[in-house]
Structure 1
Amino acid sequence: MDKEVNMQRVWERLKRVKHKLKQLNSTHYSGVHEKIKNNRQQLWSVQEELRIRGISEKLKKKEKSIREQLEKWILIEESITKQKSRNQWLQLGDANTAYFFASVKNRLSQNKIKNLIDNNGVLLQSKKAIQEEIIGFYKRLLGSATDSIPAINPMEMKNGPCLNREMQLKLIALVSRMEVINALKDIDDQKAPSCDGFNAFFFKKAWNIIGNE
């Protein structure tokens, strides 16, 4: 029950955070495309001044400042585009939609094995040779099909390798805080570990605040 209460509290707090983030986005990050366009125009104007009037410290500092702003907004625009793309995939990617099939078709067109090196170090380039090598590899790895499976000998299982008590306890132990942290670190920053819309980067940065929840 306590866990349910804690998760409900976390969910409600995240909803409030999302509301504030929307306000922050509206206040500071709206019109990113226009800001990039304006910065580029300003940069072009300053560089023209430098070309016509010659080098001056004032113009160099102004150019540097505008360039830094331009780079900042370009990175922000790139991040926003990635987020929008991810949201679109979450909404349409798992559905039986034209977007889904177009994505699959595009992925299949890119995922091609053009050449392969076999166990003898021979480079295979023909479609037939690559197919035969892949089939042969998995036959060697998994074996051939069979109509029957020999019965397992209970005595062999009983006398075979077994888990000791320490290993058994580890299998049923509660997930530790460190395991959760390590799992979170392994998630790509742009991936969302749940359906709340917050990506892994948010949880990593805010872990000192929400980790104890």
Structure 2
Amino acid sequence: MEKCLGESSSRTHSEAVYGLHTILDRKSLWSGLLGHVQSQELMIIIGDYNVIFSSNDRANWTLVTDAETVDFEDFLLQSSLIEVKSIGLFYSQSNSSVGSERVVRKIDKTFVNHAWLTMYAGVVMQYLALGISDHSPLKSALQADSQQGGRPFKFMNIMIDRVDFLDTVDKSWSSVNKIYKPQSVWLKLKAAKKDLKMMHTHKFGKAHDKVEYLRQKLSNLQSQSDFNSNREAQSNAKGDANSKFFFTIIKARHAQNSIDMLTDDNGRLITGAQEIKEEILAFYKKLLGSKAPSLSGIDLNVVRAGKSISMQARESLVRDVTHDEIEKALAGIGNDKVLDWMGLTYFLRKAGLP
């Protein structure tokens, strides 16, 4: 089935799938689908595949064997299709039994190709509650991808290779002068994060746009110098395809990590970005509780009757921590591990951060 979505001139191709019940009968399904997914059109494939992909897709039944999943895995590997992000129920089908006899499976899935993700990376498939059927209804809203807000700052180790890195860190580190040491360190880290985030935006931000600009510039230079050999042209085409694939996967990963829908305590579905933010804040505020007007005293008899540590252990807990111990602990942390909520890593310390 082919359609035009919204105001976009791109045509989409959708496939409805129903897989037969045996491995042998499904082999024709995989070969038939492979012949369709080679198209460069926007494609979405949705339906009941009647097969699971991993052991997590089935509960309360026999163990999953390689023979059950190998054909499905090979099909996904050859087609390079990507499963759409899903919310709601995890399992999509049951045998309608109850208790220990109930078997549930996730066999209803939705897959899209890379062309689809370039335009509709934010698509989400919602698995609704079971009704008269033993399969969950699948519901989705198709809308063009839209960036909502900024992303958290993440320090990249490659930034340390820039000649202005140490000067930037030193300038931001020296801009804070506070009497209280803990507050001073926190404010210095905050200042360093701000300046490093600005450096990241200017030097490394919008990498996809920069790659496209440089490729276009290279293409213009090659056309001016009659750079038209078949081997070079094929190499450039493969490079363009690899770059497009890489940025499409990154885009899909960002979409997978986003929160697009929430269900509140009353069962109401929340889709707006501001409403989702308010719901998350309200949840954690409720989780933390409220300030009590007064606190009851501690029952010393109960405390004394409980377990206690030895005098040697007490002295060990209150002794001073040496600088050598701190350096040894930090040295064992990998360069890719984040030490604080600001996203700054121990790699900064190795780079000469005061």
User: What is the TM-score with the length of structure 1 in the denominator?
Assistant: 0.36
More strand by share: 2
